[in-house]
C-alpha cells in the first residue's frame, strides 16, 4: 500500500517504498571505501549503464554529487558557466567558490536553457588577464524555470558550442528522468550531451538517501577522491544503496503519473479566479502566482493545512510538486477543498 504523503513542498519529501525498506534490511554489506559493498557496486554500474556512461559514484546528496563532479572537471581559478537561477549557483552554499576556488559566470537562460550564442559570448579567450573557462553546467529539468525539460536538440546545441571551446559539460540531472519521461525519450538521448551527470535517487524516485555521479572512468576516479576528501566515503553504504537500486529499476516509469497529476492540478487551479499558473506544466512542478488573490505563500500554506496538506512559500509565488505518495484522487480532493477556501473574486 502506498503511504499518503500530502505534501506539495518538494519531491524530496518522498517516503521509501516497502520494497526499498525490505531491500535495506536484507542487504549484504561491505566497506565501500575499499570498493567492497556489493549493492553500492551494483548501483554504480546500473546508473552508469542506464545513462550510457563508463563509471559511477554513489554520493550522499545531489549537492555533493555536483560538487565532486565540478571539482573533478576544474582547476583552482577557472571560470565555469551556469544558468543564473540554477540550483548549483543559487542553492549549493557557494561550494564552487569555497571548495574549488572557482569563478561563476552566470547567464540568463531561456526557460532554463542556455542559448549557444550566450555560452559562446561568455567563454573567455586566451589572454594573460583572464581566467580560463573550463566547464559548462546545465540543469535538466530546470527547477526554477518551472520543471521545464531541456530538449535533446537544446542539449546538443549547448554541447556542440561547449566542445568547440574545449569545455567540459556537467549536467545537474537531479530530475533528468523527469525530463526523459516528459520528452518521451530514453534518458541516454539527453545524457549523451554531458560528460558527467548527477542524478538524485532521493527525489521523485523515492529512495531515502543518495545521488549518483556518472561519467568517464578518469573523471569518476577524481570525483571519488574528492568525495573522500569531503568526508563522503561511506562504509557499509549498501543499506542505503539497495533502495537506490529499486529507485532506478522500479520507480522511473511511474514519474509519468506525477506529471499527469501536476497537469490535472494546474488545470484545476487555473479555474480559480486570482490564481495564475506561471509556467507550462511539463513535469512534476506547478508554480502558482497568488497575487490576484492578495495572498502570499503564508495564507496559501494555512489554507492547505486546513485540508491536511503541507505547502510553503514566502512570496506570492509558490511551487507545488507532485510525487510518489500523492495519487490522482488526492489531487481531485485537494482541488475540491481549496476551491471552497480561497476568497471569492
Ligand atoms: C536541480 C537540483 N539539483 C541539485 C539538488 C541538490 O540535491 P540534494 O538536496 O540531494 O543536495 C536539488 C535539490 O533539490 C535540485 O533541485
Ligand 1: list residues with CB < 6 Å. Answer: 12, 61-63, 87, 139, 143, 172, 174, 200, 202, 211
pLDDT band at 27 (very low <50, low <70, confident <90, very high): confident
Put simply, whether the predicted model's pTM sits higher than 0.85 gets the answer yes
What number of H helices and E strands is found in the chain?
A: 14, 10
DSSP 282: -
CA dist list (Å): 99 to 74, 78, 89, 220, 240 = 11, 12, 13, 17, 26
Ligand 1: atom nearest CA of 211 is 10
**How crowded is residue 28: how many other Cβ atoms within 10 Å of its Cβ?**
10
pLDDT at residue 232 in the model: 98
Query: What percent of the chain stands above pLDDT 90?
Result: 97
pLDDT of 345 strictly over 70: no
Ligand 1: atom nearest CA of 143 is 1
Packed helices 38-51 and 238-250: angle between N→C axes, nearest 10 degrees: 30
pLDDT in tens, 266-307: 999 999 999 999 999 999 999 999 999 999 999 999 999 999
Query: What percent of the chain stands above pLDDT 70?
Result: 100
Q: Is the dihedral of CA 72, 76, 77, 82 positive or negative?
A: positive
Dig out the grid coordinates for 316 from the structure.
Answer: 506570492
CA dist list (Å): 254 to 108, 232, 274, 324 = 32, 30, 32, 8
Ligand 1: atom nearest CA of 60 is 10
CA distance 254 to 251: 6
Please, are residues 197 and 53 in contact by the beta-carbon 8 Å criterion?
yes
pLDDT in tens, 69-123: 999 999 999 999 999 999 999 999 999 999 999 999 999 999 999 999 999 999 9
Q: Residue 155: which residues within 8 A CB-CB, separation 6 or more?
A: 138, 140, 190, 193, 194
For a substitution probing ligand 1, which of 174, 210, 212, 284 has the most ligand atoms within 8 Å of its CB?
A: 174
Q: For the chain, report the end-to-end CA distance as a whole number of angstroms.
A: 40
pLDDT of 252 strictly over 70: yes
pLDDT in tens, 148-189: 999 999 999 999 999 999 999 999 999 999 999 999 999 999
For a substitution probing ligand 1, which of 60, 63, 66, 175 has the most ligand atoms within 8 Å of its CB?
A: 63
Ligand 1: atom nearest CA of 66 is 4
Higher pLDDT, 314 or 240: 240
Residue nearest (by alpha carbon) to ligand 1 atom 13: 62
Q: What is the mean pLDDT of the chain?
A: 97
Amino acid at each position: 500500500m502506498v503511504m499518503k504523503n500530502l505534501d506539495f513542498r518538494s519531491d524530496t519529501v518522498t517516503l521509501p517504498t516497502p520494497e526499498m525498506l525490505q531491500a535495506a534490511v536484507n542487504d549484504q554489506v561491505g566497506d565501500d571505501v575499499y570498493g567492497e559493498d556489493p549493492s553500492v557496486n551494483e548501483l554504480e554500474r546500473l546508473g552508469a549503464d542506464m545513462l550510457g556512461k563508463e563509471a559511477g559514484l554513489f554520493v550522499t546528496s545531489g549537492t555533493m554529487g555536483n560538487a565532486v563532479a565540478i571539482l573533478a572537471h576544474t582547476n583552482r581559478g577557472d571560470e565555469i558557466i551556469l544558468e543564473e537561477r540554477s540550483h548549483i549557483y543559487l542553492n549549493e552554499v557557494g561550494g564552487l567558490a569555497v571548495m574549488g576556488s572557482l569563478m561563476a559566470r552566470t547567464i540568463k537562460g531561456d526557460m532554463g536553457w542556455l542559448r549557444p550564442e550566450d555560452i559562446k559570448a561568455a567563454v573567455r579567450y586566451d589572454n594573460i588577464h583572464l581566467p580560463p573557462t573550463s566547464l559548462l553546467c546545465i540543469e535538466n529539468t530546470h527547477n526554477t524555470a518551472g520543471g521545464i525539460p531541456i530538449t535533446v536538440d537544446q542539449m546538443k546545441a549547448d554541447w556542440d558550442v561547449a566542445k568547440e571551446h574545449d569545455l567540459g559539460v556537467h549536467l545537474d540531472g537531479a530530475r533528468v528522468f523527469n525530463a526523459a519521461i516528459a520528452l518521451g525519450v530514453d534518458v541516454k538521448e539527453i545524457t549523451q550531451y554531458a560528460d558527467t551527470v548527477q542524478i538524485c535517487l532521493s527525489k521523485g524516485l523515492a529512495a531515502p538517501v543518495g545521488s549518483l555521479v556518472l561519467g568517464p572512468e578518469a573523471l569518476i576516479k577524481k570525483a571519488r577522491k574528492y568525495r573522500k576528501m569531503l568526508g563522503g566515503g561511506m562504509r557499509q553504504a549498501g543499506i542505503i544503496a539497495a533502495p537506490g537500486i529499486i529507485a532506478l529499476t522500479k520507480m522511473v516509469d511511474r514519474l509519468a503519473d506525477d506529471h499527469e497529476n501536476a497537469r490535472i492540478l494546474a488545470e484545476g487551479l487555473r479555474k480559480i479566479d486570482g490564481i495564475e499558473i506561471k509556467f507550462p506544466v511539463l513535469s512534476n512542478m506547478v508554480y502558482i502566482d497568488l497575487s490576484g488573490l492578495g495572498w502570499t505563500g503564508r495564507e496559501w500554506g494555512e489554507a492547505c493545512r486546513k485540508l491536511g496538506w503541507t505547502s510553503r512559500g514566502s512570496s506570492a509565488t509558490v511551487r507545488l510538486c507532485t510525487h510518489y505518495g500523492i495519487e490522482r484522487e488526492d489531487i481531485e480532493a485537494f482541488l475540491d477543498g481549496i476551491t471552497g477556501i480561497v476568497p471569492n473574486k
